[in-house]
């Protein structure tokens, strides 16, 4: 799968915010990391959205394996997608490869046309 990452000149289609800010508390390295990736985040969010839509539902581990993305990328995009109202929890849980259970995500609303 070929991945397109937006250029730094393109405006963001939504108000990107660091969904992990409450965890890192403004740590300068974390803030700088978010600034570095926020323009690529929309492409990763769309990839995660398309994967969940194609499968009907998914857990983060399935998304990681299916798209070849890092756990940190998938976790952040799943959290962001929930905050944006794109994803919702189904109420079901599914076993991961480590034997733990994980919440199942599904699409909550169509991808906004203005973000395409």
Please state which CATH number belongs to domain 21-109: 1.10.10.10
Q: What's the predicted TM-score (pTM) here?
A: 0.77
pLDDT reported for residue 13: 59
47-101: per-residue pLDDT in tens? 999 999 999 999 999 999 999 999 989 998 999 999 999 999 999 999 999 999 9
| pLDDT band, very low/low/confident/very high, at 16 (cuts 50, 70, 90) | low
Q: Domain extents for the chain?
A: 21-109
Residues contacting 59, CB < 8 A, separation 6+: 94, 96, 102, 103, 104, 105
Average pLDDT in the chain: 85
**Cα 84 to Cα 78: distance, rounded to the nearest angstrom:** 10
Alpha-carbon span 7 to 59, nearest angstrom: 29
Measured in whole angstroms, the distance separating CA 35 from the mean position of its chain's CA atoms is: 16
């Amino acid at each position: 799968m070929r991945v397109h990452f937006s250029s730094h000149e393109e405006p963001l289609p939504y108000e990107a915010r660091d969904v992990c800010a409450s965890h890192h508390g403004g740590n300068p390295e974390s803030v700088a990391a978010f600034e570095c990736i926020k323009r690529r985040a929309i492409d990763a969010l769309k990839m995660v959205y398309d994967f969940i839509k194609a499968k009907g539902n998914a857990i983060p581990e399935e998304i990681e394996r299916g798209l070849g993305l890092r756990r940190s990328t998938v976790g952040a995009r799943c959290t962001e997608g929930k905050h944006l109202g794109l994803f919702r929890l189904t109420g079901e849980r599914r076993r991961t490869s480590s034997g733990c259970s994980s919440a199942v995500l599904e699409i909550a609303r169509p991808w906004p046309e203005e973000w395409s």
